[in-house]
Chains A and B, each alone.
Chain A
Amino acid sequence: MALTALEIYKLLPKTNCKECGFPTCLAFAMQIAAGKAGIDQCPPASDEARETLGAASAPPLPKVVVGTGERAVILGDEVVLYRHEKTFYHPTAFAISVSDALDGDAFRDRIRRIRSLSFERMGERLAVDMVAVRCDSGDPARFAAAAAAAKEGAGTPLLLSGPCDALAAALPSLGPDRPLLCPPVGEGDAGARLAAPLGLPLVVRAKGIDGLEKALAAARAAGVRDLVADPMPASLPDAVSLSVYLRRLAILHRAREVAVPTAFDLGNGFPSPFAAASLLVTKYGSLLVLDSDDPADIFPLLTLRQNIFTDPQKPIQVEAGIYPVGKATASSPVVITTNFSLTFFTVRSDIEASRVPAHLLIADCDGMSVLTAWAAGRFTGESIAKILSESGIAGAVSHRTLILPGMVARLSGKIEELSGWRVLVGPQESSALPSYLRRLPPAAFAPADA
């Protein structure tokens, strides 16, 4: 548990020496409790205080880095159980498997399909994070070659899953890329001896929390620092409860013995992998291995991850202004909406889908959606008329016709009266924009004085 200011104060010298930069020891204790100062700033602190406070300020769930450079994947390093308490920092990583038993063309094709699992949504690129190379051939040389080809072809960090002789064969060339090693259950000790000298991250696999506690202790004793735990669930309910319990132990109980990021292998015949992946994205899975490379499976899962790992503390809004979509010209339609980022990205993507170039006019409504902004008096006839005259849109188009969100159709009279623009009421739902825009007669956007 995190210490309170008073508990911290009791550990301090209580001399008010000010060496830490704060006027009193109590003030300093309050800063430590708030996470804004560290015990290192207190030179006279006792060893006991250093040890207690050092441990208390370390993240309850350690961070493990897989891979190197821009595409490195961070697992763990979370501080809360519920996203509404603060935020989740490191999105669940997805690894798609490839078997070293596949022949040349089939192998390359599989890697190509994994690579193409990449989607643009809400201004973000959603992609698969890793490739999991499975040793099904039993041949270390073949596994090493497959792993090297996967690295070359996919460009992502790798999870190497196989017996230790196969892992050992792959490491001379791939070790510097910091792959995550995943030896089978019976070879935990040998796996630890492979990972420790190279400082590589290791997946420790054992049944349940008790099994993991022992296996993690053994791996630590062998000198492995970066550990990931696979509790080997037998079923979907098992997977969810083990994931929740491991995270509770880390966050609520500060049980350092088992406080490590988790990995779940949802391939190899695991029942209902889509359901399991959905539940483990919401409930604390750090790394999920899937066999499916079907975008109809992966795109929804990556979108769910994007939702759950959105920072609830940040007001998500975009800048007000004129956003041309497609090759917008002076006779392209003008569509207005608010600056709530979800609204903006949805409307923009629906305009793109229509393939009708348009100007998207964004009103500053403090990041509120259309209905909320209207209810709050931030998206009104007056404010829209003001935007029409001040945003420069009148100079960007030769017509004077505005498409208004259908939800606020009632504003059209006021806008027409105040701005002199003609208002067309658009659809209630943004998803109807493509068909709406395609059906608009071009005459609607003829120059104003024609």
Chain B
Amino acid sequence: MTVANPQQTFPGRIMEVTLPAGEGGRSVSVGGQTALPLLPEGERPNAAAIGIEIRTGDEDLPPSLSHAFGGKGTDPAVLAGNLVEESGAQFLFLSLAGCHPDLGGHAVSRGAGIVRDVLQAVPCPAIVGGCGEEETDALLFPAVAEAAQRPVFLSYADEKNYRLVAGAALAYGHGVVAWSPIDINMAKQANLLLGDIGVPPHRVLIDPLTGGLGYGLEYTYSIVERIRLAGLSGDAALARPILCHLGDSWKAREALDSAEESWGDVIARGRRWEEATAWACLAAGADLLVCRHPDNVRTLRGMVGAPWR
């Protein structure tokens, strides 16, 4: 062709991280690439990985999810087993929301017990999330790290609790999701701090905080693009896989409200709200997506596979 070659090359390579599976499960590797996402250029040994989230505790499910989860069980281990199998999720994100005082107030031992049961029932790789309440999580992470009978990732370590989470992870051979509030400098600092206390780089994932569609997604979009460009340009502390957790897309009124008829069917709309958030995150550079809707897991998995490798 007479026009220039539009392909780009970068000096950096994103760290490859493997999420180990249990017996009979398939481990998942992400990262390892030297290119921007969704383009036929550079080396791209791994496609983005798509996971599904299961939450414990009392929660009014969004209509779209309650429709999708109908008849799949309420016990976390049963629900997780069914949803992972049906959706083809490559990993499970188990949120122990039920340990939050407002969402069930489960004892820490119960949370840890659920982790044990779920890991037994589901052999795929797992990330275990805390409940978001600082004091509870301080007890929960060490208990989960001990209870998990195989390596998982703990989500998440932030500026305040990173010593505790990383300590629990190191003691039992787990990985860490490093969280930062849509801030590239804090994302970098979190990785450096974890490195300083001995967490190996191939056991760290970046969670840049994912805003839901319509509610701050654009900030996440640009931070993910910037983190990825910095990593590919040679900033080793940012050359890590990025995890986007799409949970916030289910907090938008537009994903939940069944009263607004002109917005279309809420079951279809809720699912689309999460799906659009997912595509934007992938386009920006996410390596792992955590969905709640099993149909979105299936759709995304079907499309981010072979042709984009």
Partner-B contacts on A (CB < 8 A): 82-84, 116, 119, 121-122, 209-210, 213, 235-237, 240-241, 244-246, 248-249, 252-253, 255, 257-258, 272, 274-275, 278-279, 281-283, 294-301, 303-304, 306-308, 310, 312, 342, 346, 349-350, 353, 429, 431
Report Cα–Cα, A244/B39, bound state, in Å: 8
Given A253-B4, A275-B275, A304-B276, A121:B303 Cβ within 8 A: no
Which residue on B lies nearest to A301, using beta carbons?
A: B276
Closest Cβ–Cβ distance, residue B301 to chain A (whole Å)? 12
Contact with A along B176-220 (1 / 0, CB 8 A): 000000000000000000000000000000000000011111100
Question: B303 touching A282 by the CB < 8 A rule?
Answer: no
Report Cα–Cα, A84/B218, bound state, in Å: 10
Question: B6 touching A248 by the CB < 8 A rule?
Answer: yes
Given A294-B264, A307-B213, A279:B6 Cβ within 8 A: no
Given A253-B6, A312-B218, A300:B276 Cβ within 8 A: yes
Question: A295 touching B253 by the CB < 8 A rule?
Answer: no
Please pick, from A84, A303, A342, the residue contacting B254 in the complex, using a CB distance under 8 A: A303
Given A244-B39, A248-B8, A294-B264, A342:B213 Cβ within 8 A: no
- Chain B residues lying within 8 Å of A245, measured Cβ to Cβ, are 6-7
Which residue on A lies nearest to B248, using beta carbons?
A: A429
- Chain B residues lying within 8 Å of A213, measured Cβ to Cβ, are 1-3
- Chain A CB within 8 A of B138 CB: no
Closest Cβ–Cβ distance, residue B116 to chain A (whole Å)? 29
Given A249-B6, A278-B279, A296-B269, A240:B218 Cβ within 8 A: no
Please pick, from B225, B266, B307, the residue contacting A84 in the complex, using a CB distance under 8 A: B225
Question: A275 touching B217 by the CB < 8 A rule?
Answer: no
Which residue on B lies nearest to A305, using beta carbons?
A: B276
Given A275-B303, A278-B275, A296-B263, A304:B213 Cβ within 8 A: yes
Report Cα–Cα, A272/B299, bound state, in Å: 9
- Chain A residues lying within 8 Å of B3, measured Cβ to Cβ, are 209, 213, 249, 253, 255, 257-258
Partner-A contacts on B (CB < 8 A): 1-4, 6-8, 38-40, 213-218, 221-222, 225-226, 229, 251-254, 256-257, 259, 262-266, 268-269, 272-273, 275-276, 279-280, 282-284, 299, 303, 307-308
Report Cα–Cα, A213/B38, bound state, in Å: 23
Report Cα–Cα, A263/B43, bound state, in Å: 29
Contacts A236-B307, A249-B3, A279-B38 known; 5 new A-B pairs at CB < 8 A:
A82-B226, A255-B4, A278-B276, A279-B282, A303-B254
Question: A119 touching B214 by the CB < 8 A rule?
Answer: no
Please pick, from B253, B268, B303, the residue contacting A431 in the complex, using a CB distance under 8 A: B253
Given A84-B222, A244-B39, A282-B221, A297:B264 Cβ within 8 A: yes
- Chain A residues lying within 8 Å of B265, measured Cβ to Cβ, are 296
Which residue on B lies nearest to A431, using beta carbons?
A: B251
20 A-B pairs with CB atoms under 8 Å apart are: A83-B225, A209-B1, A236-B307, A237-B38, A237-B40, A237-B308, A241-B39, A244-B39, A248-B6, A249-B4, A253-B6, A257-B2, A272-B299, A274-B275, A278-B279, A296-B265, A303-B254, A304-B217, A342-B216, A353-B259
Question: A282 touching B308 by the CB < 8 A rule?
Answer: no
Question: A299 touching B263 by the CB < 8 A rule?
Answer: yes
- Chain B residues lying within 8 Å of A278, measured Cβ to Cβ, are 275-276, 279-280, 283
Given A210-B1, A296-B268, A82:B39 Cβ within 8 A: no
User: Total A-B pairs in contact (CB under 8 Å)?
Assistant: 146
Closest Cβ–Cβ distance, residue A144 to chain B (whole Å)? 32
Question: B264 touching A282 by the CB < 8 A rule?
Answer: no
Closest Cβ–Cβ distance, residue B203 to chain A (whole Å)? 29
Closest Cβ–Cβ distance, residue B270 to chain A (whole Å)? 9
- Chain B residues lying within 8 Å of A342, measured Cβ to Cβ, are 215-216
Question: A346 touching B276 by the CB < 8 A rule?
Answer: no
Closest 6 CB pairs of A and B: A296-B264, A295-B264, A278-B279, A245-B6, A296-B268, A296-B269
Question: A307 touching B221 by the CB < 8 A rule?
Answer: yes
- Chain A residues lying within 8 Å of B299, measured Cβ to Cβ, are 272, 275
Closest Cβ–Cβ distance, residue A128 to chain B (whole Å)? 13
Given A237-B308, A241-B39, A299-B264, A431:B213 Cβ within 8 A: no
Closest Cβ–Cβ distance, residue B12 to chain A (whole Å)? 17
Report Cα–Cα, A308/B220, bound state, in Å: 10
Given A116-B262, A240-B39, A296-B265, A282:B280 Cβ within 8 A: yes
- Chain B residues lying within 8 Å of A349, measured Cβ to Cβ, are 253
- Chain A residues lying within 8 Å of B226, measured Cβ to Cβ, are 82, 84
Report Cα–Cα, A281/B283, bound state, in Å: 10
Report Cα–Cα, A248/B9, bound state, in Å: 13
Report Cα–Cα, A298/B268, bound state, in Å: 11
- Chain B residues lying within 8 Å of A346, measured Cβ to Cβ, are 215
Which residue on B lies nearest to A256, using beta carbons?
A: B3
Closest Cβ–Cβ distance, residue B222 to chain A (whole Å)? 4
Which residue on A lies nearest to B267, using beta carbons?
A: A296
Which residue on B lies nearest to A238, using beta carbons?
A: B307
- Chain A residues lying within 8 Å of B251, measured Cβ to Cβ, are 429, 431
